[in-house]
């Protein structure tokens, strides 16, 4: 790595060069963050040094009305046989290779790939998925050269990537985009958050990245047809991504809810039915549950352990009820030992929501995160995750 | 306060009595947490000591099939001219009076009243609204005597309460309930989260608090007619409550968005239009903005300060744009000084979303919270809050 800046001798302990020309070596990749008017000159210097990969973080191109400058930039890169990410973007991150040419600095490698036409939305996803690990982050910016289609094609083949999460504002070639989504989603889930669902949003897009957004109904139908899983908000985008990264596709039709909070059990029941799933009937287990569980437990699904719940009761209940498509465990009180119980039942599909638990909650959630296990902050958001996992399974199995 | 427990001499530094009879004084309020089979005996003892207020935390009554026991409990209390909260509930909290007969221990007094048929949902709200301050928390439990109707009537008149947030599963008297909501919401906003929107949810309610839930469409129409603001998820319940507590009713039709993140500006634009509001036209300010803002700023609404944003730009922009129904400031990068800028413009209606900002974000959000100012974790959730504030204004002004 060779930092270049005319006003510094050293950056983060590395010798700093005053120009690209001075670098005593060939370059593979140039990450450029200089005023827009100097970008093309710097690109040319880098090409002379052998660079073919370019990440242009600087803005001031098409989004600022300088289409010509952007075309010239792409022309220079392509003429040399290179490829360009950006301009007007937040860079790239590849923790598997120890390369973070972006911010924030996220080091943990794992299955989550994030492609984002917005730096902030990308950073939000990276930060909130870091405990699972990131495979690649690519900020699209103005996508003057490399776009989401190239990246979907690339990530489809990338063994380090388990899930592709894409925030997009539009695409230039609907047909190629759909093909890329379809191919990728046959191998790994593609979660999409699309900005510009309304007229106001589409107007805003024009000045953000200059993309023509097109009608939302068209995108919606295309996403569905191509097998993408579409999120309707930033938080849903996160919930879908976390769940698919951790669980992958699973058949989830019937869910068992075990809760310390009756009210949260009801919110979960509503969310489960709204998402087209069912509460599993557990009539044949009631007799044994009655015999082996304390008096205060409400014997149905949702199984309400009430505020007197302790971790061993979740354990016992799962032991008795046995296999189910999925469990949703709601810890609605400060219940220590939650993580250990879930770990013990790792043969089951268990979604966890922890809320209302003060310091005990903080400690338990920390244990889950350290183990790379997603915990959802409300029952409804856990069901969001379940929905994504189910939707992807149904897509793969054409149901 | 007189703790009573036969197995302790002292509890939290207070002398502990082995029976109610031994207490050397009259009692006003009895908080009872003994096995269900002893509750009625304890109630009788407390009545002899003068108690007329009862909070029964113990479960084991109607929700466990013991309707008779519950009826007897109510009978004993009423015979003495008393009132009862619970049984099967998480108690009450009144920080203004320094009385917390519930958990978690929340001490900060303020405008938020929470009535909840679920202890966990109540605790979630208390914890997340504590920075604004709590006026009252009442867990309804089985509401054998005091119910949401009594409490709405009481809180309507309570000067310490600015907003009433109600989690409910059903009501016994639809007409009286609607009257109570209508009367209360004329004086202060009533936010309602209702469990049991689906068949699965309604089935779960039966065994939680034994309430008959009734069809959701009927509730929905009734809420609307009576002027309640209905939340569709636990997080929305929180967002609505925070916003109404802080802003009260305000006319919000046209919004100015100032953002460091183009993508988040687009998500905000979509949310604003989806909720029936508009982005304010700022054509007449563009000339001055162009003159006084740096080159990189994208001059429209949403005003995109880009990743190069710093706090003074938000200040400057608001100074130039001037009055608007509402501002949404999105800090999508680690931007110090956010709180100071917002404080300076306290004559304006400003909603804040802060995300993607690491440690700087933590410090800034802490400053906002210490000042009792709500910060929303995503642009969409800030727009949730805006929606509630607008809806309440429109209700009061019959629009």
Return all residues near B319 (Cβ < 8 A) that are at least 6 apart. none
- Which residues 170-199 of B are in CB contact (within 8 Å) with A? 195-199
Q: To 10 degrees, the CA torsion angle through B99, B103, B106, B112?
A: -90
Give the pLDDT score at A123: 95
- C-alpha pair distances (Å), B25 with each of A99, B1, B100, B301: 72, 10, 21, 66
- Answer whether residue A89 shows pLDDT above 70: yes
pLDDT for A280:
98
Q: What average pLDDT does this structure show over A306-332?
A: 96
Structure tokens at A257: 């809810």
**Contact residues on chain B for A278, CB-CB shorter than 8 A:** 200
Single out the residue of A170, A168, A218, A166 nearest to residue A191, CA to CA.
Answer: A166
Q: Which chain B residue's Cα is nearest to A298?
A: B207
Are B59 and A272 a contacting pair at CB < 8 A?
no
Which pLDDT tens digit goes with each residue over A25-67?
999 999 999 999 999 999 999 999 999 999 999 988 988 889 9
B33 in contact with chain A, both atoms CB, cutoff 8 A: no
pLDDT score, position A210: 60
- H or E segment to which residue A383 belongs: helix A379-396
- Domain extents in chain B: 10-85, 91-247, 254-396
Task: Answer whether residue A228 shows pLDDT above 80.
Answer: yes
CATH number of A91-247: 3.40.50.261
Give the model's pLDDT for residue A217. Answer: 86
Contact B209/A at CB under 8 A: yes
The string of pLDDT tens digits covering residues A169-218 is 989 898 999 999 999 999 999 999 999 999 999 888 876 666 656 788 88
Pick among A63, A86, A200, A261 to test the B interface (most B CBs inside 10 A): A200
Per the structure block, which two tokens stand in for B211?
Answer: 């309430």
Question: How many other β-carbons are positioned within 10 Å of the β-carbon of residue A58?
Answer: 21
Query: What pLDDT score does A65 carry?
Result: 87
Partners of B92 in the beta sheet?
A: B101, B138
A270: contact with B, CB 8 A cutoff: yes
> Contacts of residue B333 in chain A, CB cutoff 8 Å?
120
Quote the CA–CA distance of B273 and A197 in Å, as a whole number: 9
Q: How many CA atoms lie within 13 A of A201 on its CB side?
A: 25
pLDDT in tens, A358-369: 889 999 999 999
The reply to whether A91-247 and A254-396 are identical in fold is yes
Selected from 3.30.70.2190, 2.60.40.10, 3.60.21.10, 3.40.50.261, the CATH number assigned to the domain covering A254-396 reads: 3.40.50.261
Task: For residue A279, give the nearest of A306, A307, A259 by alpha carbon.
Answer: A259
pLDDT confidence tier of residue A238, bands split at 50, 70 and 90:
very high
What's the CA gap between A140 and A148, in Å, rounded?
7
By Cβ distance, the residue of A104, A195, A304 closest to B358 is: A104
Please count the other Cβ atoms lying within 10 Å of the Cβ belonging to residue A17.
Answer: 18
Contacts of B278 in chain A (CB under 8 A): 200
- The whole-number average pLDDT for the span A93-101 is 96
The predicted structure's pLDDT at residue A208: 65
Name the stretches of chain B with pLDDT < 70: 207-213
> Which numeric CATH code is attached to B10-85?
3.40.50.720
ipTM of the modeled complex? 0.94
Cβ neighbour number for residue A224 with a 10 Å cutoff: 12
Per residue in A248-280, pLDDT tens?
Answer: 999 999 999 999 999 999 999 999 999 999 999
- Say how far apart CA B210 and CA A266 lie, in whole Å: 13
Residue-level pLDDT at B355: 94
Q: What angle do CA A317, A309, A327 make, to 5 degrees?
A: 40
Residues of chain A positioned with their CB less than 8 A from the CB of B279: 200, 203-204
Buried/exposed code over A283-315 (b: 16+ C-beta within 10 A; e: otherwise): eebeeebeeebeebbbebbbbbbbbebbbebbb
Alpha carbon of B152 to those of B88, B90, B190: distances in Å? 20, 18, 9
> If DSSP states are collapsed to H, E and C, what string results for B229-295?
EEECCHHHHHHHHHHHHHHCCCCCCEEEEEECCHHHHHHHHHHHHHCCCEECCCHHHHHHHHHHCCC
């Amino acid at each position: 790595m060779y930092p270049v800046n005319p006003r510094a001798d050293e950056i983060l302990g590395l010798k700093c060069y005053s120009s690209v020309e001075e670098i005593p070596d060939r370059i593979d990749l140039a990450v450029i963050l200089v005023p827009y008017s100097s970008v093309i000159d710097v690109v040319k210097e880098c090409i002379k040094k052998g660079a073919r990969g370019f990440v242009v973080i600087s803005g001031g191109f098409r989004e600022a009305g300088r289409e010509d400058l952007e075309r010239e930039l792409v022309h220079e890169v392509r003429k040399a046989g290179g490829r360009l990410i950006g301009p007007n973007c937040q860079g790239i991150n590849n923790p598997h290779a120890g390369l973070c040419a972006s911010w924030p600095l996220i080091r943990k490698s794992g299955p989550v790939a994030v492609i984002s036409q917005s730096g902030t939305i990308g950073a939000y996803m990276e930060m909130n998925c870091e405990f699972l690990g990131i495979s690649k982050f690519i900020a699209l910016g103005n996508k003057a050269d490399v776009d989401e289609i190239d990246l979907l094609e690339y990530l489809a083949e990338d063994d380090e990537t388990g899930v592709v999460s894409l925030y997009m504002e539009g695409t230039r070639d609907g047909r190629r985009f759909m093909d890329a989504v379809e191919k990728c989603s046959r191998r790994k889930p593609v979660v999409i958050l699309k900005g510009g669902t309304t007229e106001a949003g589409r107007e805003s897009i024009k000045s953000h990245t200059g993309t023509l957004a097109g009608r939302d109904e068209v995108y919606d139908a295309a996403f569905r047809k191509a097998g993408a899983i579409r999120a309707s908000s930033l938080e849903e985008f996160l919930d879908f991504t976390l769940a698919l990264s951790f669980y992958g596709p699973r058949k989830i039709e019937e869910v068992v809810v075990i809760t310390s909070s009756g009210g949260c059990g009801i919110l979960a029941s509503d969310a489960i039915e709204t998402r087209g799933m069912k509460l599993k009937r557990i009539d044949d287990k009631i007799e044994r549950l009655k015999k082996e569980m304390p008096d205060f437990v409400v014997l149905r699904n949702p199984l309400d352990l009430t505020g007197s719940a302790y971790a061993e009761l979740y354990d016992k209940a799962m032991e008795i009820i046995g296999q189910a498509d999925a469990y949703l465990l709601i810890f609605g009180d400060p219940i220590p030992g939650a993580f250990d119980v879930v770990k013990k039942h790792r043969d089951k599909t268990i979604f966890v929501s922890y809320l209302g638990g003060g310091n005990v909650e903080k400690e338990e959630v920390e244990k889950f995160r350290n183990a790379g296990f997603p915990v959802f902050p409300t029952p409804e958001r856990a069901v969001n995750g379940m929905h994504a996992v189910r939707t992807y399974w149904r897509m793969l199995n054409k149901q």
